A = this chain, B = another copy of it.
Amino acid sequence: MARVTIKDIARKLALSPSTVSRALHDHPDISRKTKDDVLNIARNLDYFPDTFARGLRKKHSSTIGIIVPEIRHDFFSSAISGIEEIAYSKGFTIMVCQSNEDWQREALNLRSLVANRVAGVLVSLSQTTQNIDHFSILDSQKVPAVFFDRTHKDVKHSQVIVDDFNGAKELVLYLLNKGYRSIAHVAGSDCVSVGRDRLAGYIDAHLEFGLPVDERLIISAGFREIDGRNAAKTLLAMPKRPDAIFAVNDPVAIGIYIVLKEEKIVIPDEIALAGFCNNPISALIEPSITTVQQPARLIGSTAANLLIERILHPDKEYPAVTKTLKTELIIRNSA
């Protein structure tokens, strides 16, 4: 049998489609009995609304668009999971796109989401996103958005981030206090907030400790495991190797870990290693990786709640807020 529409229900009950629509939405004008009748028939016929027809009228769907660099990374899959959980509980579905760290694809993803009339958008920027001009479509189309984790200084929307600066600073101070004096930083992109802020934390820790920063020890890499591998090779080729490495995130730390292991370099005795994220894998490898805990799921759910709040009250004024969640230094065996 074909799809059941509101008309079918109306015909069965000798009502008008508008009454059925109202009954289905629990409109106060409709009598108890009519509502019950409609609900019953709807159930019997296995009716469900056509989101296209509804969306065409209402100008938006109950879908939340998500753009992340890579679905596979534990941080992002956890964040997506947190988003989905909230979205599901509030009757939203999620549409997921991955930019593959490519800002042009990010722009295309965004257009696609807007064309799909998503109710709002959750974004974590790609590492190649130098400016955020391609997000202007959010304003012109009045699509609410919340940026999470990887954001950009020009972002005017609400954001959910962690205190990357202090998280990194605390970690690097810990390393300095432990006696490491030649700490390399394998950095991410410096357009993207987390890359910039963690680097700033690294520098500020040195400042506060009173140790000059050796610029040569700052390697511009990226956010992926492969970037860590490459950076590790660069570092190992240096005449004077660092005695510790702070990676911008755990995937990069894992990349470094793999190369160090391959080269039979003992962690932390020869070179200490620390990351940022606290991916599950970091606790399980040996030595376990000292890192900074980032509540990925919570970041996702917080961003989702913020966005849905805005979606549900489109008229209300929502000044952009920045929610900064706490990080926690996780000391393990690698540093």
CA distance A286 to B80 in the complex (A): 30
* Interface hit among A67-75, A165-173, A200-208, A264-272: A67-75
Contact B112 A93 (CB under 8 A): yes
Does A217 have its Cβ within 8 Å of any Cβ on chain B?
no
- Min CB–CB distance A97 → chain B (angstroms): 7
Q: Which of B48, B74, B94 contacts A95 (CB 8 A)?
A: B94
CB atoms of A96 and B117 under 8 A apart: no
A140 surroundings in chain B (CB, below 8 A): 1, 46
Which residues of chain A in 211-248 are interfacial with respect to chain B, using CB atoms and an 8 Å cutoff?
Answer: none
This protein's copies in its complex? 2
> Could you say which residues of chain B place their CB within 8 Å of the CB of A63?
95, 116
- 8 A Cβ contacts from A268-300 to B: 280-281, 284-286
Choice from B52, B84, B105, B141 contacting A71 with Cβ under 8 Å: B84
Docked pose: A281 CA to B81 CA in angstroms: 20
* With A50-B115, A71-B80, A77-B72 as contacts: A284 and B56 at CB distance below 8 Å: no
Given the known inter-chain contacts A95-B93, A281-B281, A281-B284, please indicate yes or no for A61 contacting B52, CB distance below 8 A.
yes
Within 8 A of B (CB), among A102-127: 105, 111-117
On whether the beta carbons of A115 and B84 are closer than 8 Å, the reply is no
Pick the residue among B46, B61, B72, B85 that contacts A81 (CB under 8 A). B72
Question: In the complex, are the beta carbons of B48 and A52 less than 8 A apart?
Answer: no
Tell me if A98 and B116 are in contact (CB < 8 A). Answer: no
Interface residues of A (CB under 8 A from B): 1, 3, 46, 48-53, 55-56, 61, 63, 70-72, 74, 77-78, 80-81, 84-85, 88, 93-98, 105, 111-117, 137, 140-141, 254, 257-258, 280-281, 284-286
